Amino acid sequence: MSELTTVARPYAKAAFDFAVEHNAVPKWHEMLNFAGQVATNAEMNQYLTGAVAAETLADMFINICGEQLDQHGQNFVKVLAENERLLALPEISELFTAFKAEYDKEVEVELTSASELDAEQQSKIKATLEERLARKVKLNCNVNPALLAGFVVQAGDTVIDGSVKAKLERLADTLQA
């Protein structure tokens, strides 16, 4: 998959730069998400991996997407088709989403707690994380009773483990040392 990421990155960056320049980041995000979903369709995937002329493939792809793609989006699809990169559309969409999150100073955070958190607790945790990470936080909450108590926060490469289970494991390691 890293090869596909390498192929997709310049296209995602170009699309993102164009979207920022034309003040159309939300529209491009929507278009690329839709086009990425079309590209993952099993029937469409057969055409993308087959021996179909680039122009024919681009026209077919644009017709399927219909009004979801504006003129610039259609041109983008044509360029991808000419360079045989339509298969990379799902990855381009993911990278564009990452660029958008960075641009919007947003981060998606996985919060796993031992028990269900109420709205007030989630709000307090969100506010603290926004201050610590200097980003707008979107919480995805999960419950894992195995944590015993507390919670684990994962934001990209950053992990904050405040669970009782982890504290007990650290205590056991210290006692054994």
DSSP secondary structure code for residue 130 in this structure = H
What pLDDT was estimated at residue 109? Answer: 83
What pLDDT was estimated at residue 2? Answer: 60
Q: Could you tell me the fold of the domain covering 2-102?
A: Peroxidase; domain 1 (1.10.520)
What pLDDT was estimated at residue 1? Answer: 47
Question: One-letter amino acid identity for 150?
Answer: G
Q: Could you tell me the fold of the domain covering 106-176?
A: Glutaredoxin (3.40.30)
From residue 43, give the alpha-carbon distance in Å to each of 46, 48, 61, 143. 5, 9, 12, 37
Q: Where in the chain is the domain with CATH 3.40.30?
A: 106-176
Mean pLDDT by groups of 10 residues along the chain of 177 residues? 75 87 87 85 71 74 80 84 83 87 79 84 85 81 80 78 76 83
DSSP secondary structure code for residue 85 in this structure = -
Burial grade of 57 (CB within 10 A; 0-12, 13-18, 19 or more)? buried
Q: Where in the chain is the domain with CATH 1.10.520.20?
A: 2-102
